[in-house]
Homo-oligomer: A and B are copies of this chain.
Amino acid sequence: MTQADNAQDDSGVDIGLGLGLAPMSVPKSSDVLANHLRQQILEGKLVEGSALPVERALATSVGLGRQTVRDALRVLEIEGLIVTRPGRAGGSFVRRPDTATFERTLNVLVSGRGVKFHSLLEAREGLEPVAARLAALHRTDDDLVALDRVAAKMAESRGNVPLFLQCNVEWHVAVGAATHNEVIEAIVNSLSKVILRSTDIEEFNSEETMGATLEAHSRILKAIRAGDADKAASSMSKHVHVYRELVENLNVPEDIPM
Q: Which residue of B lies closest to A133 (CB)?
A: B126
The answer to the question of A184 belonging to the interface, with a C-beta cut-off of 8 Å to chain B, is yes
The answer to the question of A113 belonging to the interface, with a C-beta cut-off of 8 Å to chain B, is yes
Stretch at the interface among A115-123, A141-149, A244-252: A115-123
The answer to the question of A79 belonging to the interface, with a C-beta cut-off of 8 Å to chain B, is yes
Q: How far is the CA of A113 from the CA of B113 in the complex (A)?
A: 28
Q: In terms of DSSP, what is the predominant structure of the interface of chain A?
A: helix
Minimum C-beta distance from A79 to chain B (A): 5
Question: Do residues B102 and A80 form an inter-chain contact, with CB atoms below 8 A?
Answer: no
Hey, which chain B residues are within 8 Å of A127, CB to CB? 126-127, 130
Question: Do residues B106 and A102 form an inter-chain contact, with CB atoms below 8 A?
Answer: yes
Q: Which residue of B lies closest to A44 (CB)?
A: B114
Q: Which residue of B lies closest to A105 (CB)?
A: B105
Are A258 and B80 also in contact (CB < 8 A) when A102-B106, A113-B182, A119-B181 are? no
Question: Do residues A109 and B102 form an inter-chain contact, with CB atoms below 8 A?
Answer: yes
Q: How large is the interface on A (under 10, 10 to 19, 20 to 34, 35 or more residues)?
A: 35 or more
The answer to the question of A108 belonging to the interface, with a C-beta cut-off of 8 Å to chain B, is yes
Count the copies. Answer: 2
Question: Do residues A97 and B109 form an inter-chain contact, with CB atoms below 8 A?
Answer: yes
The answer to the question of A15 belonging to the interface, with a C-beta cut-off of 8 Å to chain B, is no
Are A105 and B101 also in contact (CB < 8 A) when A75-B74, A75-B78, A184-B123 are? yes
The answer to the question of A151 belonging to the interface, with a C-beta cut-off of 8 Å to chain B, is no
21 contacts between A and B (CB under 8 A): A39-B258, A71-B71, A75-B78, A78-B79, A80-B112, A97-B108, A97-B113, A101-B105, A101-B108, A101-B109, A109-B182, A109-B183, A113-B182, A119-B182, A119-B184, A123-B181, A123-B183, A123-B184, A123-B187, A126-B127, A187-B187
